[in-house]
Amino acid sequence: WTTREDAYVTRLGERATVALADGSQIQLNTNTAVSVSMGPWWRTVVLKRGEAYFDVRHDETRPFSVLAAGHRITDLGTEFVARTSGDKLEVTLVQGRARLETASASVQHHATDLTPGEVAVATADSISVARIPARQITNALAWRVGKLAFTHVTLAEAASEFNRYNRTKLIIDPKVAALQVSGTFDAGSVGTFANMARFAFGLHIEKRSHEIVVSNP
């Protein structure tokens, strides 16, 4: 092995799959940037922004680590999703095991080992871990096939997800933001989702330049 570093980036609304030389794969979600360093005794990915799915080929002699938001995720033979939002990191373990710990002296030290079905939210001060239903994990992974899946989420939450993928932004009136929706949509179908909300709840839709405003009639 020779040491090398490669960078991969997706733009708004794009997805990409990166096949690594060791047999591992990284799937990049919308607006995501990673750098990959492969050496004789290490495999390191830096998640600079966005969200990525990691399918890691375990090798005890060459640890696989992901650095993001001041934390390190170390593979113990696993598949997981990592998503950053500012200084917050969210890790969902799909299969296998992974260790999540601090990787920066500026962050209060904390660590935890994750098992399948657990989601960890890490900040500079703490790590919280919760077990979530299998359906929720399936929904969270729908982006891998270009979909957004919702089960009883608010209009505001759904709009926030759509806005991660599209230049046309959904603006939800606070008066209707708590209405709940379920369904599976193409990640780029902002207009379709807005029309669904109009018909389902009798709401008003106003199209502006790069915006769709959803409000009471």
Q: How many Å apart are CA 15 and CA 30, to the nearest integer?
A: 6
**Predicted confidence (pLDDT) per residue in 103-159, tens digit:** 877 767 889 999 999 999 999 888 999 999 999 999 999 999 999 999 999 999 999
**Predicted confidence (pLDDT) per residue in 59-102, tens digit:** 989 999 999 999 999 998 789 999 999 889 999 999 999 999 99
pTM here is: 0.90
Q: Residue 1 pLDDT more than 60?
A: no
Which of 148, 145, 194 has its CA nearest to residue 168?
Answer: 194
Q: How many Å apart are CA 70 and CA 72, to the nearest integer?
A: 7
